[in-house]
Amino acid sequence: MKRHSHICNTILINLKRKMKTIKLLSILAVSASLMVGCSDDDPVTPPSSKFDLEINGQDDFDPKDLKGNVNADITLKAGVEYLLSSSLRVKEGKTLTIEPGTVIKCKAGGTDVYVAVERGAKLEAQGTALQPIVFTSDAISPRLGDWGGIVIAGKAKTNKGAEAETEVAGLKYGGTQDDDNSGTLTYVKAEYTGAKINGDQEFNGFSFYSVGSNTTINNLFISNGADDGIEFFGGTVNVTNVMCVNIKDDMFDFTGGYTGTMNNMFGVRENGFNDATEDPRGIEGDSNGSDPAALPVSTPTIKNVTILNLSSVTALKAGAEIRRGTYATVDNALFAAYGDATFGNLIDTKDDKGNGSLTITNSYKMGTVGDNKIGGEIDGTVIEDTEAITADGDNLTVKAGRGADFTEFTWTGYTLKK
């Protein structure tokens, strides 16, 4: 019995020793794994690992890699560094709020870098004169077309069909709700926009597709755009105080049955700005090139507008081209070519896809501005005023009552120079 007991004790001691050895080896193995996982070259949890393309809450996105579908109400805050790295799409029923003073840098060189707001979603970008909201390129040497722009779709009418699709960003737009509300844009700057996908798909600074009249849009500044400054595709929204500086194509554009009012619009091509498409215009207005009688017909009202060319190299094709079924009303316009700059035509209402018609009152021209090209009716005359714009050294001044009120754009910090 004693011998048997001794043998058992020996076996138990050996088993305990082996178990301790196995446990020690396991601990060492786990420790080694953790040390490898925690090395500087391979962090355990990459900083952006919790972020993906679906933004489901305020803490569900990386400010320095801003992109994705906005599936919740979120706010971009002043003082935070943001980089828009790809498309940011606000989904139906959700609101993207941007605080006054927020700066959003946009990754240069990508046609997929833009902000899109779906039908039924809202963008609440309420800057102030002292703290505007700024969208700009992140490039060290920024250029026209570095990124896309801002695209908003609404539920108001368009003559492109009950449910059309935007030229860029793939949003559905249109409907019957002319008083639709897509939010607020006020005191917002958009710089270096207009990325080009192909000949038929180009971003503008701001693109409003069937946006309704309860949307608030005022005090916008668009500079160095590779396509249009601002364009309306149908819709009923009214806009006030919009400035476009150095736009490669058209400054102010509308199509698709737009019936809103544009008030106090100032567009200028600077001396030395020589980038231009084949046919840059101050105002380009279409209704429907396939069917000029399609309803609703574009019948915008444009009040207090200045189209100024200072570039001696590239002429504007026209101060205003009103075509393809459009019936526009213009009051208090100034079409001016200063110095050696020129316009091809003053007003053009002739087009192979349908003429347009224009009623114009209390309006003026200055400098080498071409004649009207008449297709549809032009009701009214444009008076010549050789002193509508005067120089004081290098600075230019627009006479009061001639076109847009330039003082409304003091908040931009922009100075008009010859």
What average pLDDT does this structure show over 34-54? Answer: 47
Q: What is the pLDDT of residues 62-83, one digit of tens each?
A: 999 999 999 999 999 999 999 9
The amino acid at 164: A
Considering the chain, what is the average pLDDT of its residues?
A: 90
What does the pLDDT read at residue 51? 64
pLDDT band at 115 (very low <50, low <70, confident <90, very high): very high
Q: Return phi, psi of residue 314, to 5°.
A: -115, 120
Q: Return phi, psi of residue 379, to 5°.
A: -100, 110
pLDDT band at 197 (very low <50, low <70, confident <90, very high): confident
What does the pLDDT read at residue 200? 73
Nearest Cα to Cα of residue 242 among 261, 265, 211, 216: 265
In this structure, are residues 359 and 379 in contact, taking their beta carbons and an 8 Å threshold?
A: yes
What average pLDDT does this structure show over 288-304? Answer: 97
The span from the CA of 412 to the CA of 357, in Å, is 34
Q: What is the pLDDT of residues 151-176, one digit of tens each?
A: 999 999 999 998 899 999 999 999 99
What does the pLDDT read at residue 71? 98
Res 211 pLDDT > 70: yes
In this structure, are residues 266 and 409 in contact, taking their beta carbons and an 8 Å threshold?
A: yes
Phi-psi region of 118 (alpha: psi -120 to 50; beta: other; left: phi over 0): beta
H/E run at residue 15: helix 2-37
In this structure, the chain runs to a length of: 418
Cα angle 252, 257, 261; round to 5: 50
pLDDT band at 226 (very low <50, low <70, confident <90, very high): very high
What does the pLDDT read at residue 85? 97
Nearest Cα to Cα of residue 189 among 387, 412, 407: 412
Q: What is the pLDDT of residues 344-369, one digit of tens each?
A: 999 999 999 999 999 999 999 999 99
Res 50 pLDDT > 60: no
What average pLDDT does this structure show over 289-300? Answer: 97
Q: Return phi, psi of residue 407, to 5°.
A: -65, -20
